[in-house]
Amino acid sequence: VQLVESGGGLVQAGGSLRLSCAASGNIFSSNAMGWYRQTPGKEREAVAALISRSSTYYADSVKGRFTISRDNAKNTLYLQMNSLKPEDTAMYYCAAWNTDYVPRGGGPDYWGQGTQVTVSS
């Protein structure tokens, strides 16, 4: 399985970015997938995830501003980020699980290499 992120960059506060994650290998439209982010010195945190066939997860800090979606025909996961804030600055990682749900307490099985998002004030 390979996950390749793109779409990061530098944006002013209040702006928008859309991250993409192209998945290849043994990944199907039903696999649970999500986005994490990490800043230096801090633990990687979950931002948003398609945690089952009908449920999504959003961190409280991004609710109402970020939207996760997938295009099964393109095997691509997206993260639309609006109303960006300087505190959203981080390396963003795409993640996938072998299952069609996120196991309680279970971390992802696969990670992308990350794409940097920097939000200036």
**Coil/strand/helix, residue 86:** helix
d(CA 105, CA 44): 14
DSSP letters, 2-19, are EEEEE--EEEETT--EEE
Q: Residue 67's pLDDT is what?
A: 98
pLDDT tier, 109 (very low <50, low <70, confident <90, very high otherwise): very high
- Mean pLDDT of the 40-66 span: 94
Tens digit of pLDDT for each residue in 14-49? 999 999 999 999 888 889 999 999 999 999 999 999
Between CA 90 and CA 37 the distance in angstroms is 6
Token readout for 17 is: 């970015």
